[in-house]
């Protein structure tokens, strides 16, 4: 796949179809790839990498890139394509300036997951079929690729690239039985005290680095409400429990019905807060109350929070739901 | 040199926490480590290092400075600082220990001294722990740090079943006096150090070339066109800054509690769009300038003002935590090494 | 504050200018009583209610927050309350998910002619919140200590 994508990038560049390519650039190690724009064949040959560590969702960069001169080629995995289409729907990306190459994906590995499995000091990795061979400072190790997948890939919602000009590899299918709401349901089944304790334990680790917000393709406001000095919110300071709750509730609410569940928020969180569980709660509630909806899946449907029906449930429906007492 | 069996660590922690508050690196509930106040039953982390560095204990993310109370035309100013009691930090790594030198230059050695920071520094005993198993992201040796022999009031080494302790200062010796320890010779420690140093030779980043990151090349580095490409995918989040043991920028803010005004300070990040916001706006309008500021500060401005001491300690936290994996090592490799005259 | 019998909750009621605010007025002119600790904040439409307003009310010492707007179908701006209805449903569900007592938040549709309903709603809500006690889970210790 790596060679195929690289060849495609060079072909698109040299045929004049695009004048630059958005992809992932090799780092110091095999796993620390950085999103980058490539403009020459030499750069692509030297630095372009597509591997099981090309996890970063490139869609958000296209907001800025598509406004620049000329056309940019972007390689989008299934998750990324949902974010891309959602941004198109919100008129944030200029479609004519992007050539989308869809790429099939069967899960991206996560270095934190590998470290958590006790493998430390990893200096190189080779993919050998379904296994990862890891060279470390302390010897070699092997683990199935499936053990190195983060939660979002284990419970992958869709292998389907929903928008593309060209597809590399075979396009996959949606996966309605992903089990991605299992954890949400587990939390819902707790008592309010347990839920409060669960979220306090998770959210109290927040350091307000804003990585979740800045990486989120749905968080595309030019100026965030949390960057407004006059709003009275503590911005960068997790000054109290309230501020932590406030930031995460409001951030999840602001992306509700637009969040495609790409899972970038949880991937980038340095404190490993399962932020996707907040977004998934909204998705689950929306599915249940207003009909199944997947943000970014199409260009036509209205996001449920920008829509209504006269027969919608009253807010009091909440009193009858939720967990043990 | 003193020693204690590792199976007796709980006993050691009990004894240490008798006289002072004890902080040890332990699981924070996410499988990652954090310096936490010791409670009985708490275990030392298996991880090499904490995500948040030891600077937290001297320079916390948020701290109250003072309060104003307004009554009629009277403004009352109240002290609102948290009381500082003697405490001991157990298991600080060599890199974090060096970061205290960097912070001291900013908060203690410049006039006037920061009394909040000073109070914590004076009340603390730092017990460092030598590294046995560095990770691939470690590069402290580049900055002349020896992870097999860290500084601090007390230095400690772990072997398979024993913890060795050596006091380096009077403060450290006083702490060790009260502990249930046996005398030991240096042989086991020397062997452990030799083993660690063998691994250090294999570290992939050990040969980073810092040539050219100095006062003389300041303008050349500042004007380097490659900052644009290095910073192009930076998200502008504060992860690198907040996990960094040497980042020391803060903002002072006020909060109206309804009863009084609370003035507090909180960490700030030069990566944020509203960093050092002034009435005329942001002096660094795009992410390129903000990104450049962070690395120029660490690698050029700070050493230029502090006798060549770099304000990076090679702990590798930003390498592990940056969402897009752009970090100081990539900056050094891209811009360093060549020393043309500016 | 600890003893529930002497506890008087602080309640913030966001009222739509075109209906519930007038409803509150009517309940006053009709000499109907509702608790004095209900603080009314007038908003131009129920859909003006930014979810952060609710959280901020709790931060600043509210023990219960209620939104009153026009009955569905009667919005002065035709559809505002339909949007508000979806937003509040999801927000309340999220607060519940975070373990915050769901009875602390409520939405009622009160028209300008329903002075009696306004008073009854406030009395009922105040009683519910009194039973729950002080808001602890969304308080800001800096404000309440």
Contact A268 B320 (CB under 8 A): no
| B82 vs C: CB within 8 A | no
Q: Which candidate in A121, A122, A206, A235 is best for mutational testing of the B interface (most B CBs within 10 A)?
A: A121
Chain C nearest CA to B248, separation (Å): 25
| Inter-residue contact C122 to C35 (CB < 8 Å) | yes
Q: pLDDT tens-digit profile of C71-101?
A: 999 999 999 999 999 999 999 999 999 999 9
pLDDT value of residue C76: 95
- Domain coordinates of chain A in residue numbers? 2-108+158-168, 111-148, 182-321
Nearest CA among B128, B120, B124, B45 for reference residue B83: B120
Contact C55 A192 (CB under 8 A): no
Which residues of chain C, if any, have pLDDT below 70?
1-5
| C39 vs B: CB within 8 A | no
- Domain coordinates of chain B in residue numbers? 2-200, 215-335
Distance CA B65, CA B78 (A): 9
- Cite the DSSP H helix spans in chain A: 2-14, 41-47, 61-65, 78-89, 111-116, 151-154, 182-188, 192-203, 211-215, 241-255, 264-268, 276-290
pLDDT value of residue C71: 96
pLDDT value of residue B107: 97
Q: HSE-up of A126 (CA within 13 Å, CB side)? A: 5
Q: Kindly list the averaged pLDDT for each block of 10 residues, start to end, along chain A of length 325.
A: 92 95 93 95 95 94 95 96 97 96 94 92 88 93 94 95 95 93 95 96 94 95 85 73 93 96 96 97 96 95 95 92 65
Distance CA A211, CA B237 (A): 5
pLDDT value of residue A324: 65
Chain A nearest CA to C79, separation (Å): 9
For the record, the structure tokens of B177 come out as 């006096």
3-state class (DSSP) for residue A143: strand
Q: Which candidate in C46, C84, C86 is best for mutational testing of the A interface (most A CBs within 10 A)?
A: C86
Among chain B residues, the shortest Cα distance to A233 is held by: B255
Distance CA B153, CA B170 (A): 8
Distance CA B168, CA B158 (A): 17
Contact C90 A282 (CB under 8 A): yes
Please state the ipTM of this predicted complex. Answer: 0.92
**Looking at chain C from residue 14 to 33, which residues have their Cβ under 8 Å from any Cβ of chain B?**
none
Q: Which of A37, A120, A268 is nearest residue B323 as measured by Cβ atoms?
A: A268
Chain B nearest CA to A54, separation (Å): 10
Q: pLDDT per position in chain B (342 positions), as tens?
A: 999 999 999 999 999 999 899 999 999 988 999 999 999 999 999 999 999 999 999 999 999 999 999 888 999 999 988 889 999 999 999 999 999 999 999 999 988 999 999 999 999 999 999 999 999 999 999 999 999 999 999 999 999 999 999 999 999 999 999 899 999 999 999 999 999 999 999 999 999 999 989 889 999 999 999 999 999 999 999 999 999 999 999 999 888 888 899 999 999 999 998 898 888 888 999 999 999 999 999 999 999 999 999 999 999 999 999 999 999 999 999 998 765 444
Chain A nearest CA to C34, separation (Å): 22
pLDDT value of residue C1: 43
Contact A227 B51 (CB under 8 A): no
Contact B257 C61 (CB under 8 A): no
**Looking at chain A from residue 265 to 304, which residues have their Cβ under 8 Å from any Cβ of chain B?**
267-268, 270-273
pLDDT value of residue B331: 95
Q: Which of C86, C87, C137 is nearest residue A196 as measured by Cβ atoms?
A: C137
For the record, the structure tokens of A8 come out as 């495609």
Q: In sequence order, what are the beta bridge partners of C108? A: C68
> Any idea how long chain B is?
342
Chains touching A, CB cut-off 8 Å, 3+ pairs: B, C
**Looking at chain B from residue 257 to 276, which residues have their Cβ under 8 Å from any Cβ of chain C?**
257-259, 262
* C12 contacts on B by Cβ (under 8 Å): none
Chains touching B, CB cut-off 8 Å, 3+ pairs: A, C
Beta-carbon contacts of residue B196 (< 8 Å; ≥ 6 apart): B130, B131, B132, B134, B147, B148
Distance, first Cα to last Cα, chain C: 12
Contact B257 C142 (CB under 8 A): yes
| B255 vs C: CB within 8 A | yes
| C141 vs B: CB within 8 A | no
Give the position of tokens 């504050």: C1
| A128 vs C: CB within 8 A | no
Nearest CA among C107, C108, C95 for reference residue C138: C95
């Amino acid at each position: 796949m790596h060679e195929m994508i690289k060849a495609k990038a060079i072909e698109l560049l040299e045929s004049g179809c695009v004048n630059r390519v958005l992809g992932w650039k090799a780092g110091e190690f095999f796993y620390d790839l950085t999103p980058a724009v490539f403009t020459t064949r030499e750069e692509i040959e030297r630095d372009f990498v597509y591997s099981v560590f090309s996890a970063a969702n490139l869609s958000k960069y296209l907001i800025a890139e598509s406004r620049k001169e000329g056309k940019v080629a972007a390689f989008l995995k299934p998750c990324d394509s949902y974010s891309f289409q959602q941004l198109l729907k919100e008129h944030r990306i200029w479609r004519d300036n992007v050539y989308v190459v869809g790429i099939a994906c069967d899960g991206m590995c996560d270095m934190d997951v590998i470290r958590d499995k006790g493998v430390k000091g990893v200096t190189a990795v080779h993919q050998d079929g379904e296994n990862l061979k890891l060279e470390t400072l302390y010897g070699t190790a092997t683990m199935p690729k499936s053990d190195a997948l983060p939660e979002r890939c284990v419970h992958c919602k869709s292998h389907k690239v929903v928008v593309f000009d060209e597809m590399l590899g075979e396009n996959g299918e949606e996966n309605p039985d992903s089990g991605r709401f299992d954890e949400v349901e587990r939390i819902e089944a707790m008592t309010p005290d347990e839920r409060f304790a669960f979220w306090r334990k998770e959210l109290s680790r927040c350091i307000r680095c804003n990585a979740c917000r800045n990486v989120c393709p749905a968080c595309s406001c030019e100026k965030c409400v949390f960057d407004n000095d006059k709003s009275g919110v503590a911005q960068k300071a997790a000054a109290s429990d309230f501020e932590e709750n406030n930031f995460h509730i409001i951030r999840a609410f602001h992306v509700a019905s637009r969040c495609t569940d790409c899972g970038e928020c949880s991937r980038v969180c340095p404190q490993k807060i399962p932020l996707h569980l907040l977004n998934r709660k909204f998705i689950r509630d929306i599915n249940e109350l207003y009909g199944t909806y997947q943000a970014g899946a199409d260009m036509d449907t209205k996001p449920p929070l920008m829509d209504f029906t006269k027969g919608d449930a009253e807010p009091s429906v909440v009193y009858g739901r939720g967990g043990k007492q | 040199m003193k020693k204690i069996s590792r199976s007796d660590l709980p006993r050691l922690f009990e004894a240490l926490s008798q006289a002072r508050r004890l902080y040890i690196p332990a699981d924070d509930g996410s499988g990652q480590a954090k310096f936490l106040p010791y409670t009985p039953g708490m275990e030392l982390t298996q991880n090499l290092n904490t995500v948040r560095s030891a600077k937290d204990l001297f320079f916390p993310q948020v701290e109250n400075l003072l309060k104003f109370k307004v009554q009629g035309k009277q403004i009352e100013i109240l002290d609102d600082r948290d009381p500082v009691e003697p405490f001991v930090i157990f298991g600080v790594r060599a890199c974090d220990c060096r970061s205290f030198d960097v912070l001291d230059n900013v908060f203690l050695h410049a006039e006037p001294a920061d009394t909040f920071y000073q109070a914590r520094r004076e009340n603390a005993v730092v017990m460092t722990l030598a590294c046995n198993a560095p990770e691939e992201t470690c590069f402290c040796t580049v900055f002349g740090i020896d992870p097999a022999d860290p500084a601090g009031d007390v230095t400690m080494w772990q072997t398979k079943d024993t913890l060795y302790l050596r006091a380096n200062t009077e403060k450290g010796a006083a702490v060790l006096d009260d502990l249930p320890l046996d005398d030991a010779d240096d042989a086991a420690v020397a062997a452990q150090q030799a083993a660690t140093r063998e691994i250090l030779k294999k570290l992939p980043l050990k040969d980073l070339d810092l040539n050219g990151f100095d006062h003389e090349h300041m303008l050349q580095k500042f004007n380097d066109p490659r900052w644009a490409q290095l910073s192009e995918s930076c998200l502008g989040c504060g992860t690198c800054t907040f996990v960094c043991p040497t980042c020391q920028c803060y903002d002072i803010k006020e909060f109206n509690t309804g009863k009084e005004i609370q003035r507090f300070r909180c960490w700030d990040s030069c990566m944020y769009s509203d960093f050092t916001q002034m009435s005329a706006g942001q002096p660094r309008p795009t992410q390129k300038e903000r990104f450049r500021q962070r690395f120029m500060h660490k690698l050029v401005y700070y050493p230029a003002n502090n006798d060549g001491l770099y304000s990076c300690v090679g702990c590798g936290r930003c390498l592990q935590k940056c969402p897009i994996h752009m970090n100081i090592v990539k900056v050094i490799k891209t811009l360093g090494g060549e020393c043309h005259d500016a | 504050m600890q003893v529930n019998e002497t506890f008087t909750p602080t309640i913030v009621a966001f009222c739509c200018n075109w209906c519930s605010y007038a409803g509150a007025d009517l309940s006053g002119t009709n000499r109907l009583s509702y608790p004095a600790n209900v603080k009314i904040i007038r908003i131009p439409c129920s859909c003006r209610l930014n979810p952060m307003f609710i959280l901020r009310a709790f931060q600043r010492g509210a023990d219960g927050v209620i939104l009153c707007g026009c009955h569905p179908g009667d919005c002065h701006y035709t559809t505002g309350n339909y949007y508000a209805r979806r937003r509040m449903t999801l927000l309340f569900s999220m607060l519940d998910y975070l373990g915050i007592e769901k009875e602390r938040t409520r939405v009622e549709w009160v028209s300008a002619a329903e002075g009696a309903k306004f008073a009854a709603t406030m009395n009922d809500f105040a009683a519910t919140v009194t039973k729950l006690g002080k808001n602890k889970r969304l308080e800001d210790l800096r404000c309440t200590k």
